[in-house]
Amino acid sequence: MTDAATPLPGWTHVYSGKVRDLYRSSDGADDGRLLVVASDRVSAFDHVLEPAIPGKGALLTSLSLWWFEQLAGADGGRAIANHLLPGQTPPAATDGRGMVVRSLDMLPVECVVRGYLTGSGWVEYQADGTVCGIPLPTGLGNGDRLPEPIFTPAYKAPLGEHDENISFERTVELVGPERAAELRDASLEIYRRAAALAEAKGLILADTKFEFGLDADGVLTLADEVLTSDSSRYWDAETWRTAETPAARMASFDKQIVRDWLAAHWDKQGTPPVVPDEIVAQTAAKYRELLERLTS
C-alpha cells in the first residue's frame, strides 16, 4: 500500500494503513507533527477492495473534523482533548483529505462502544447470550437497542494481524487500571454525546470505535478518525422504527453496504471480487448523505 501514498513536499511518508497514509514533518528536526491523509480506499474483512470510492477520503476527513469540533465543546459538553493541531493547514495536494495532528503515543486498544446489537455482537449473542463476554438480557433481536451502551475493547494488532476482542481485565493488563477505566469512561461519554447529537438529526449511532493516545504530558487524547462512516454504524432512525425486517431496519449510511455486498459475493478465500459500480455509487451517496444530515 506504500506505493499509493503521494509524495508531499515538507512531509516524509512513514506508514500506510489500509485506508490512510501517514506522514511526519520533514521541516528540519522532527517536530512531532503528523499529517494523516484519508485515501478513497475502502476495506472490508481486512482487504482493500477495488475500486476506490470517489470522494470518500474527503467526506471522512470532513466528518472527523466536524465531530472533533462538537466534542471539543460545540455540543455543549466538556471539551475532550483531541490530536488536531489548530491553525495548521494540510498541503493543498491533499484536497480536503488531510489533517495535521500531534504525534501521540498510541494505546494498543480499539475502544469500541455498542449501543445496539448487530454484526459480530449479534452472532456471539445468539450463541452465548453475551457480547464480548458481557452478559445481556435474553430475548433481544438483531438490531435491537441494548439496555445500556457497552464498552467492548479490542487489542489493536500490529500491521497485517487481526484485531482481537479483549475483556476489560485484559485491557487493565495492557494499560493499567486507571488508564483502562479512563478509556472506558471517556469512550462511553463520547458515544452518549454523539448518539444524542445523531438522534437529533434522525440518525441512530449503533456502534463506533475510538482510538486514544497520550500526549507528551501523559494526557489522554482522542486520536485517529472519529465517528466516521468507516469507524461507526449509522442507521436511519425512522426506518429503524418502522421497517418490517431486521435487514431493512438497519439500512445503513456506512461501510456496511460494502460488507453486505462482499459477504454475499465472496467466500473470503483469495482475492475479493471487484465491487460493482452501483455499490460504489450507493456507498459514496450514503457517505455524503450522512455528512449532510449530521452537519445541516
Q: Which of 213, 249, 255, 272 binds ligand ATP (CB under 6 A)?
A: 213
Indicate the residue among 18 and 201 with the shorter CB distance to ligand ATP: 18
- Please report, as residue ranges, which positions from 125 to 144 form the binding site for ligand ATP (by CB under 6 A): none
Q: Which stretch binds ligand ATP (CB under 6 A): 16-24, 191-199, 235-243, 273-281?
A: 16-24
> Cβ 17 to ligand ATP, closest distance in Å?
2
> Cβ 274 to ligand ATP, closest distance in Å?
20
Is 24 a residue that touches ligand ATP (CB under 6 A)? no
Rounded-to-integer distance, Cα 26 and Cα 77, Å: 36
Q: Which of 33, 83, 233, 286 binds ligand ATP (CB under 6 A)?
A: 83
Q: Which stretch binds ligand ATP (CB under 6 A): 11-19, 23-31, 167-175, 252-260?
A: 11-19
Q: Which of 5, 23, 25, 34 binds ligand ATP (CB under 6 A)?
A: 34
Nearest to 20 by CA among 175, 211, 198, 186: 211
Q: Which of 19, 44, 49, 100 binds ligand ATP (CB under 6 A)?
A: 19
Is 172 a residue that touches ligand ATP (CB under 6 A)? no
Q: Are 234 and 206 in contact (CB under 8 A)?
A: yes
Is 91 a residue that touches ligand ATP (CB under 6 A)? no
Instruction: Name the site residues for ligand ATP (rule: CB under 6 A).
Output: 17-20, 22, 34, 36, 83, 101-104, 106, 211, 213, 223-224
